[in-house]
Amino acid sequence: MWRPCQRRCVHSSVRLMKKLGGKTPAEQRWVLRQLRDPYVKASHAENFRCRSAFKLLEMDDKFRLLQPGHSVVDCGAAPGAWSQVAVQRVNSAGTDPELPSGTVVGIDLLNIPPLDGAHFLSSHDVTDPSTHAKLLELLPNGRAHVILSDMAPNASGFREMDHERLITMCLSLLDLAEKVLQPGGALVCKYWDGILARTLHERLSRVFGGVRTLKPNASRKDSAERYFFAKMYRKRIK
């Protein structure tokens, strides 16, 4: 006799076979990993746009960098999961009328679906002066309390090249900070571990009072992904 649990298993197997059908071995491994990932399941349950939301939630729970009323710039924002967290934490949608309302501005070369409480600059380059000008208009008093960056280049398959490209992207955030980050502000940026990570750490240490390396639990253990959390920004001296 077929029991309900047996039927569910058969139906799950059929769905799984459909997901895997016609895919390359590498694509099949990715699908299987996604299906088994508890953070992917949790992101669906909590309506986050992707699992990366839990990385920012964990870091913010520990360091309280996103406060109601804060202004936040989210670099490499697509598809918008970090902006979702920022909107909640700084109350930029005005969900709690008793708390001050913050501001969230997301930037990406890709299209970012609309999100209540966030301003998105889709098809914008975070290094472009015209993007900086728009940020100055959108941010209250032209200043941000926090810069977030989960951006990364498209993977080339060459680890050292990808590492160098991402470090270069992170270094560009120092120019952005000089334009919009208020004194005492904070920055969180993703990097891939490698030989140039020390260079990035040193450059951040010149303009921030403290820099820490983080590896959130939601980051996959086999990934070279790390984050720098830099706090107490001081404008660099030319």
**What's the per-residue H, E or C state across 101-127?**
CCEEEEEECCCCCCCCCEEEEECCCCC
In the annotation, is 190 catalytic? Answer: yes
> Cis peptide leading into 79, omega within 30 of 0?
yes
Number of Cβ atoms within 10 Å of the Cβ of 22? 8
Of 190, 215, 235, 238, which is the active-site residue? 190
Structural domains in the chain plus CATH codes:
11-47 (no CATH), 49-233 (3.40.50.150)
Query: How many CA atoms lie within 13 Å of 73's alpha carbon, on the beta-carbon side?
Result: 30
Q: Can you tell me the mean pLDDT for 50-73?
A: 94
DSSP element (H, E) containing 162: helix 159-180
| Stated length of the chain | 238
Higher-confidence residue of 4 and 219: namely 219
pLDDT digits (tens, 9 = 90+) for 14-61: 444 455 566 666 554 444 444 455 556 656 666 787 888 999 999 999
Q: What is the pLDDT of residue 155?
A: 83
Task: Using alpha carbons, select from 61, 35, 38, 40 the residue that is nearest to residue 51.
Answer: 40
* Prediction pTM value: 0.83
- Give the pLDDT band (50/70/90) at residue 67: very high
From residue 40, alpha-carbon distances to 44, 191, 220 in Å are 6, 21, 12
Q: What is the pLDDT of residue 48?
A: 80
pLDDT digits (tens, 9 = 90+) for 140-191: 999 999 999 999 998 888 889 999 999 999 999 999 999 999 999 999 999 9
Is residue 223 pLDDT above 70, yes or no?
yes
pLDDT digits (tens, 9 = 90+) for 87-108: 999 999 999 999 999 999 999 9
